Amino acid sequence: MAKIIYRTADGFDHVRDVAIDTSVMRGAVDTGVPGINAECGGSAACATCQVQLDDAWVARVPPARDLEDSMLDEEDQARNIRLSCQIIVTPELDGLLVHIPSA
């Protein structure tokens, strides 16, 4: 397990223990974290699972691969927006803080 912190737009931290090798999206959806809709179920086709990496974690999260990259525009990339379904939880991500956009 790794602890993932999902901070919603109201500033509340939803702290979850997420199994290794599952996605950050799945860790949120399966435990009722609000604001991550994940309409496509994790196939990088809907972008309704977006999160913003906290500045402290940008360099520690593996970069987006081509499929994810194609779903993010330049503005998203500049703001460190990621598809949470494409971020796989590893022990190195224990303590990861992601911000969930308000809309």
User: Is 52 a residue that touches ligand FES (CB under 6 A)?
Assistant: no
Closest approach of Cβ 49 to ligand FES, in Å?
3
Number of residues that bind ligand FES (CB under 6 A): 13
Please give the residues from 53 up to 82 whose contact with ligand FES meets the rule CB under 6 A. none
User: Is 27 a residue that touches ligand FES (CB under 6 A)?
Assistant: no
> In the set 4, 18, 25, 28, which binds ligand FES (CB under 6 A)?
25
> In the set 5, 22, 40, 79, which binds ligand FES (CB under 6 A)?
40
The β-bridge relationship of strands 13-18 and 96-99 is unpaired
